[in-house]
A and B are shown apart, each in its own frame.
Chain A
Amino acid sequence: MRPNRYPDNAWAAVLLAVPFAGLVIFYLWPLLRTVLLSFSEGTAFTGYTITGFGNWQRLFDGDDIWRALVNTLVYAAIVLLGVPIAMVVAALLHQRGLRGRSFYRTLYFIPVVTMPVAVAMVWRYIYNGDFGLLNEVLDAVGGPTRAWVADPDTALYAVAVVGIWMALGTNLIILAAGLEAVPQTLEEAAMLDGAGPVRRFFSVTVPLLTPSIFLVSVLSVIGSLQMFDLLFIMLGRTNPALADSKTIVYLFYEEAFVRNDRPLGAVIALVTLVVTLAVTAVQFRLQRRWVTYA
């Protein structure tokens, strides 16, 4: 046993204790409080007393939560389509000899560093049914025009498109980093074996990129399951499409902060947690089939 082993451990413990304390104070303690709140009744002023499963029953007896769950999962599924899109863009940007690569990367990253509210406002104008840019364009080419974010048939999809566009930058950066890590030698070996660029991409690059693809997918789904801001800004509260587009977190906001029903809000927050954990667990389970850890 070397003499400096314990001091090292002690230091590690001290350094780990700080973030751990943060985790306990800012995540675990509030989480515990949320669990307690979900079984309570009362208001912020009168205080909350634990009464049992009433709030849970109230939530699952109603239609709202089921509709919100379906909407949220549909939204997450659509935004997941952004991952292959990001892969294609990343591969294109990774081509050898491409000029202005950092320029393009910056361009794709701009939506990520822009405030979601500002993004949503701009897209609202694009989607506007009366004066919107999208309808102008569609009108010119004879396509169908409509009030994209006020029509219950299209609102959720219209918002999801913005979700994909906003996430593209982050996805791209992670995938680009993954691409950099693909050893040149393997590509060259495949080339010597006579593989064309498309074959090389699918047989060499993609398998080695799977850990990055997996990470991007998991983060994308988690982000989508917690979507609120785009919906809040792009639809607004008297939108006829709201009922058919409401996500779980939007429902959480309505119950907890508009109707002041904090206990019911706590239930919804916990449902979101469970759903997110479940979906993520499924993803982790499935990854064994397709993710290659080199």
Chain B
Amino acid sequence: MKSTKTLIGLAAAAAVLTLAACGDNGASAGGSDGGGDGEEVNLTFATFSPDQEPAIRQILDVFEEENPGVTVDIQIIPWTDYWSTLQTSTAGGTGPDVAWMLGAKIGQYIDGGVLLPLDDAFEESGLDIEKYPEQLVDLFVDDGTTYALPKDFDTIGLWYNKALFDEAGVAYPTPDWTWDDVITAAKALTKPDGSVYGIGAPMDPQATYYNTIYQAGGEVISEDGTTSGYDSPEAIEGITFWTDMINVHHVSPTLESFADTESVAQFMSGRLAMLTTGSFYAIRFANDEYSSQNFDVTELPGGAQEATIINGIGNVALASTEHPEEAARLAVFLSGEEASRISSETGTVIGSYEGTQEAFVDAFPQFNLQAFLDQAENGVVLPVSRNTDAWASREGEFLTPAWTGEQTVEEAAGNLANAMNEALAQE
């Protein structure tokens, strides 16, 4: 049966080759329609949020009405594929015309020269740059050229479960709470049988430790984006606030527990009395009966100073488009006043344009969403560098031993700082 052997060999060879072929990937995404200069212009707009699609469609309808002859298709690429698809399709010249962009990602696109400057289109639109949160605008400006405008923003707040506070007879958190108030309340809220924990301390940079690092007066990355701030005493203090919740005060489930059941799910099932997380969860909490009835939110507690991490999505126009003028106009429109108003009114996200944000607060009156707006002035923009992923993707790896108690925070943060500095040196 020589043939069986040959067959096995062939099958093996094919199976082996499959992966090796993955290395050079050829992802492609739908592109713009060809045939440029006629009246009919068709643009493709890429986003990663199916949740926001209804609001986006509404915004695009207005745009199409104002720009006769231009039609826009939405292309939703799931988050897990979004960045690799956008990068490869853009590099290959088959990318969308307009796309969502984050501050953490834009550096590479600017360096690659694949984005259209939006300055002219912005001027033409009559929008006022002063009406956007300044820190977020800066994220998307390089060397005086604007490549995107923030379409929305989010801040982090202290969400809490009123029912669990009532049960334990603890007063609800207020904006003037300090770190110590949180710890005291968390101890009172934690039940000895492990059914309720005072607070969730997941290892989530944006929702937890970035905030406290800045509140302690530290920084994740130096102002000029060249060195890590993780080895400073303030940063270590900011991280220790969270690791102590697990390892010293025992008022939070462990990191293992959060790996099994994510913190937001634990919070929504009534296992956590407090959780610091973003305004972007308002819509999910509002759509859940238990959460909608029992949750509320206030400003983050203060450390040495007040701080909350602010982040926002921008819209970029890609240089590979066949209709640069329309694409730039669309990118600006998607971050404009009208778009901002629709986003807020639908409760989807906090629109970035001043004067449109109250609508977001009104969208879910059961929550004190004003807290997210009030904090924006203390907002510290989510730390980025030219190639943020190179170091941000290592944070979890290095901080895990601090969270599990295997290493001191000093040791873990020091190792992370070294790795981060190494990555930054390569930028």
Contact = CB atoms under 8 A, between A and B. Distances in A.
B87 A129 contact: no
A219 B257 contact: no
Interface in B75-115: 83-84, 87-88, 90-91, 108-109, 111-114
Interface stretch (A2-10, A105-113, A147-155): A147-155
A280 B254 CA distance: 41
Interface string A245-275: 0000100101011111110011001101100
Nearest to B406: A240
B15 A269 contact: no
Contacts of B9: 284
A238 B255 CA distance: 8
Given A127-B260, A147-B260, A259-B390, A44 B16 contact: no
A43 B112 contact: yes
Nearest to A237: B396
B311 to A, nearest CB: 18
Given A44-B88, A238-B255, A243-B397, A214 B112 contact: no
Interface residues of B, number: 53
Contacts of B108: 43, 45, 260
Interface stretch (A31-39, A80-88, A94-102, A160-168): A31-39
Interface string A111-126: 0000000000000100
Contact of A150 (B5, B23, B259, B387): B259
B171 interface: no
Given A150-B257, A222-B12, A235-B259, A270 B403 contact: no
A33 B108 CA distance: 23
A43 B15 CA distance: 29
A60 interface: no
A44 B260 contact: no
Given A33-B24, A124-B260, A294-B1, A260 B87 contact: yes
Interface string B162-203: 000000000000000000000000000000000000000011
Most buried by B among A128, A260, A277: A260
Nearest to B113: A45
A259 B219 CA distance: 22
A287 B19 CA distance: 25
Contact of B259 (A45, A238, A259, A272): A238
Contacts of A257: 83-84
B253 interface: yes
B16 A277 contact: yes
B288 to A, nearest CB: 18
Contact of B20 (A151, A241, A272): A272
Interface string A21-46: 00000110011011001100001111
Contact of B261 (A44, A128, A211, A280): A128
B367 to A, nearest CB: 26
A239 B390 CA distance: 19
Given A31-B21, A223-B15, A243-B397, A130 B112 contact: no
Given A30-B26, A130-B253, A265-B23, 8 more contacts: A132-B260, A147-B259, A151-B256, A222-B15, A238-B396, A240-B255, A257-B83, A266-B24
8 contacts: A30-B20, A129-B260, A147-B260, A219-B11, A236-B262, A240-B403, A241-B256, A266-B24
Interface of A: 26-27, 30-31, 33-34, 37-38, 43-46, 124, 127-132, 147, 149-151, 211, 214-215, 218-219, 222-223, 226, 235-243, 249, 252, 254, 256-262, 265-266, 269-270, 272-273, 276-277, 280, 284, 293-294
